[in-house]
């Protein structure tokens, strides 16, 4: 561990990172900054941030940031890594014990290296672990200091959730959509070669992005017949169906009322149509308490080069309108409707789209 002199030199850098930690609104940068702060403060051999992704019993470990001594750039899993490629939760006993007990776990490797796992907690649950590798076991005072830093992380994580998530469903809210749309859909492909491998682990070949708008059919009548409490329960259950239908990387939003938005990546229009058809089917077959059968109308569009969030949303929303006109409880592709002559492609003039 650090000597007293080295600790004094490391402290300003660590404080700078902690200041940056509370200045970011990007969760990727939040986790990377946490790893850098612990690296500067503790001078360990390695710091790794893992998050649990997935639902229920099928959870897996996503690498959010890994820093090794002497390394300046954190390594992470790519944003669209295949869920099946990640290690199952139970595959790493100490990590699993750490999150389930919500307490610090320590062990030694066969090579004599000390490893300490700290739970990453939110107000509701343990969402991951910090793994710190050192030459010698970590003293109690150092553990307590790391715990204090993680409480800062926990508090700020809660503030992000409060500002970015819908209060009722826990899905992302409308105000986070534009920035995420541009970041996710317009991300430039990374450089090829060995240098790129240091920054990120291997990412799948580039695929196309799709935006879907999901509208619950006859939702006003649900509120009128059963009351708003039952209506809120329907919204909560639809949000749960969205989470179970789509992958952990897909971004799910509630735009207000009975309208939800999905931003996902897949290879073709047929693949996107199948994903949204699976959602439609899952909603239709779910037995909603008291209400019974609920259906949804869905429209989707491909995100195009140079697209704006507003333009893409409007195309998908027009497809929803056609689905409603055709009897509801169906999925409509904007591109297919254009091919059929039902809708016209927008004519773009500068940054303005004319319909």
- What does pLDDT average to in each consecutive run of 10 residues of the chain (355 residues)? 46 62 69 89 94 88 94 88 92 93 92 93 84 94 90 85 89 89 62 36 64 97 96 97 93 94 93 97 97 97 90 96 97 97 70 44
Three-class SS state of 301: strand
Instruction: Choose the catalytic residue: 131, 233, 258, 302.
Output: 258
Please name every residue paired with 51 in a beta bridge, in sequence order, or none if there are none. 62, 128
Tell me the C-alpha distance between 104 and 120, whole Å. 10
| Tokens standing for residue 164 | 């970015």
**Per-residue pLDDT at 25:** 64
Annotated catalytic, 258? yes
Asked if 126 contacts 102 with a C-beta cutoff of 8 angstroms, the reply is yes
pTM score of the predicted model:
0.79
- Domains plus CATH for the chain? 4-164 (3.30.450.40), 172-354 (3.30.70.270)
- Going from the C-alpha of 316 to that of each of 135, 156, 171, 282, 335, the distances in angstroms are 55, 34, 19, 20, 10
**Per-residue pLDDT at 7:** 44
**Per-residue pLDDT at 213:** 98
Tell me the C-alpha distance between 295 and 329, whole Å. 5
């Amino acid at each position: 561990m650090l000597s007293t002199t080295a600790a004094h030199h490391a402290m300003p850098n660590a404080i700078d990172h902690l200041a940056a930690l509370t200045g970011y609104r990007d969760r990727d940068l939040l986790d990377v900054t946490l790893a850098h702060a612990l690296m500067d403060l503790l001078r360990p051999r390695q710091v790794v941030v893992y998050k649990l992704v997935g639902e229920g019993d099928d959870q897996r470990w996503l690498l959010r940031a890994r820093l090794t001594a002497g390394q300046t750039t954190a390594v992470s899993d790519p944003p669209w890594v295949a869920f099946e490629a990640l290690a199952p939760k139970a595959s790493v006993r100490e990590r699993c014990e750490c999150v389930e007990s919500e307490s610090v776990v320590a062990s030694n490797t066969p090579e004599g290296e000390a490893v300490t796992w700290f739970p990453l907690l939110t107000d509701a649950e343990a969402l991951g672990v910090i793994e710190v590798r050192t030459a010698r076991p970590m003293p109690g005072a150092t553990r307590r200091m790391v715990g204090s830093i993680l409480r800062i992380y926990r508090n700020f994580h809660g503030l992000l959730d409060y500002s970015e998530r819908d209060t009722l469903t826990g899905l992302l809210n409308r105000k986070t959509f534009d920035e995420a749309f541009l970041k996710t859909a317009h991300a430039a492909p990374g450089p090829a070669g060995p240098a790129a491998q240091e920054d990120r682990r291997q990412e799948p070949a580039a695929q196309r992005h799709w935006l879907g708008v999901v509208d619950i059919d006859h939702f006003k009548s649900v509120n009128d017949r059963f009351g708003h409490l039952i209506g809120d329960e329907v919204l909560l259950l639809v949000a749960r169906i969205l989470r179970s239908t789509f992958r952990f990387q897909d971004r799910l939003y509630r735009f207000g009322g009975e309208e939800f938005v999905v931003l996902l990546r897949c290879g073709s229009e047929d693949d996107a149509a199948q994903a949204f058809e699976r959602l439609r089917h899952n909603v239709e077959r779910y037995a909603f308490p008291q209400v019974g059968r609920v259906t949804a109308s869905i429209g989707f569009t491909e995100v195009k080069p140079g697209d704006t969030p507003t333009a893409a949303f409007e195309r998908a929303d027009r497809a929803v309108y056609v689905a409603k006109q055709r009897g509801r409880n169906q999925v409509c592709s904007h591109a297919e409707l254009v091919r059929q002559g039902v809708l016209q492609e927008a004519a773009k003039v500068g940054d303005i789209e004319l319909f």
